[in-house]
Amino acid sequence: MWGQPGKKLLFMGIELATWDEWNHDRSLPWELLEAPMHGGVARFVEDLGRVYSESPALWAADHDPDGFAWIDASDLEASVYAWIRRGGGETCVVVLNLTPVPRQDYRLGLPSAGRWVEAINSDSEHYGGSNLGNLGGVVATEDALHGQPASAVLTLPPLSGLILRPSE
């Protein structure tokens, strides 16, 4: 959960999405990167690391209670969870759809009105997904929801994670 507070740890070879546990007696199966789904996971981990390092909101306030706030952790029917990360003068929103059902027209509260860019969409075709999403971003209006001053209508791909950042 790269969107949660705390330092991140990748175990050796996890980006290869191997079928077996790591074995110190043999080398990593680098040939898996040639398979589309394994290569997609590697690209996802690479992009996730880039977005993480470029977004102080995801790491600068890991130990500060103001660095994390729930937007919605109670949508049990849709199994959608969303939270805010703040730090280094920046804000990000993480949204997870934990079901195999796409969520169309899903209204979510956001910390500010304006354009929000999809920094990560785990369902991107680039990672082997179905490419369902928000065409790179959404526009939040000043319609308060979930205790936030603004909200936007999102398309949430199945079994997906989105990281949204306000457009500069």
Is residue 32 over pLDDT 80? no
What's the confidence (pLDDT) of residue 158? 97
Between CA 109 and CA 138 the distance in angstroms is 12
Distances (CA, A) of 134 to 37, 121, 145, 150: 22, 9, 19, 17
Residue given tokens 């354009």 in the structure block: 115
Residues 6+ apart with CB under 8 A from 138: 115, 116, 118, 152, 153, 154, 164
15: pLDDT confidence band, cut at 50, 70 and 90?
Answer: confident
Tens-place pLDDT, residues 106-155? 999 999 999 999 999 999 999 999 999 999 999 999 999 999 999 999 99
Between CA 80 and CA 70 the distance in angstroms is 12
- Count of other CB atoms within 10 angstroms of residue 140: 26
Between CA 2 and CA 94 the distance in angstroms is 9
Opening angle at CA 128, ends 84 and 166, nearest 5: 25
Where are the chain's structural domains?
Answer: 56-166
Is residue 35 over pLDDT 90? no
The token duo for 22 is 């790591």
Taking the whole predicted model, whether its pTM rises above 0.85 is answered as yes
What's the confidence (pLDDT) of residue 110? 98
57 and 85 Cβ atoms separated by less than 8 Å: yes
Backbone dihedral region for residue 74 (phi beyond 0: left; psi -120 to 50: alpha; all else: beta): alpha
Instruction: Please tell me the CATH superfamily of domain 56-166, with its number.
Output: Golgi alpha-mannosidase II (2.60.40.1180)
What's the confidence (pLDDT) of residue 18? 79
Distances (CA, A) of 23 to 20, 27, 71: 8, 8, 41
Is residue 36 over pLDDT 90? no
Q: Is 66 helix (H, G, I), strand (E, B) or coil?
A: helix
